[in-house]
Amino acid sequence: MRTAELGLSTIKALVVPRASLSSATQRQEIKKTGVYVLIGQDLENPTQKRIYIGEGDILITRISAHNKDPDKDFWDEVVLFISKDDNLTKSHVRYMEARLIALAKAAKRSEVTNETAPETQGKLPEPDEVEMDEFVAQARLLLGALGLDIFEPSETRAVIAQPQFAEQQPAAANIPPEFKLSGEDFDATCVVDLNAGQFIVKVGSQARKVGVSALSKSYINLRAQLIQSGVLQDASERSYQFSQDYAFSAPTPAAQVVSGSTISGRTAWRSVTDNLTFAEWQDAQLTQNGSD
């Protein structure tokens, strides 16, 4: 089991492996009111998670019920969010449950198994809504610290942000590195978010529609999931188009989704400014930073 907290905040996260559920009953957090996320691997698409988001007056009661439910056998860990001040009510957690479901579906990073979501409109006074929105934002921060990005939007975030003291920085520091990948039936631009470690394929990029037979099942499934979620949309008989910016965790997944072939992203993506491969560009950056 792991816990995570934010300084000067009342939020607390508790991560409980399913195998440790019995021992977790000894902890007070699991007996409180809060929201939870059941997390497991999506067996139909190994590149993404499968999740269920819920709330409970007594969290262990709801989670124990899920543990016996054959329809929710996918999960192998649960993340709980509670308030250290014990000030969450049923209305609060139902509001947060609805917000988290909406965020997870919008992020398109996991298979959300919730069939319905509670309504948020008019359920809380405005001051409480503001407070719960802050709680949700803090929950996302804690999940990021725990290595889970299921609520994070796919499109560019940190890349478009300017440094606080941009005028004191070299001009190049404000420009994120950009790479191109082109071929028969595909033409894509990728921006590298150095802070988040993401490879963001830009909206409007073209991806090959028919992948090669040697493409691994995981990338076939990832392409299918992006088509189903609307990230990849028909552009022509031979190409898809990215309907939004979409962030990948590494250059190779981005390259194989775009090209539909088994290529290495480190050598396939080329810098827009100097035509270096990503590998060459990265080696140059490491050498330069090492000599500073």
pTM tops 0.85, yes or no: no
pLDDT for res 206: 97
Q: Which of 51, 144, 156 is nearest to 97 (CA)?
A: 51
Average pLDDT over the chain, rounded to an integer: 84
Which is it for strands 206-208 and 246-248: parallel, antiparallel or unpaired?
Answer: unpaired
Between 142 and 198, name the one with better pLDDT: 142
Q: Which two tokens stand for residue 216?
A: 């691994």
Work out the angle between the directed axes of helices 251-259 and 217-229 (0-180°, nearest 10). 70
Is residue 285 classed as helix, strand or coil in its secondary structure? helix
Contact 268, 215 (CB under 8 A): no
What's the angle, vertex CA 159, arms to CA 154 and CA 165, rounded to 5?
Answer: 150
Lowest-pLDDT choice from 4-13, 104-113, 162-171, 255-264: 162-171
Confidence category of residue 38, pLDDT binned at 50, 70, 90: very high
Contact 143, 149 (CB under 8 A): yes
* Alpha carbons 225 and 221: distance in angstroms, whole number: 6
Percent pLDDT > 90 in the chain is 44
pLDDT for res 22: 83
Over the stretch 115-159, which tens digit does the pLDDT of each residue have? Answer: 887 776 557 888 888 889 889 989 988 888 888 888 877 554 433
Tell me how far the alpha carbon of residue 15 is from its chain's centroid: 17
Query: What is the mean pLDDT of the segment spanning 69-85?
Result: 91
* Alpha carbons 229 and 265: distance in angstroms, whole number: 23
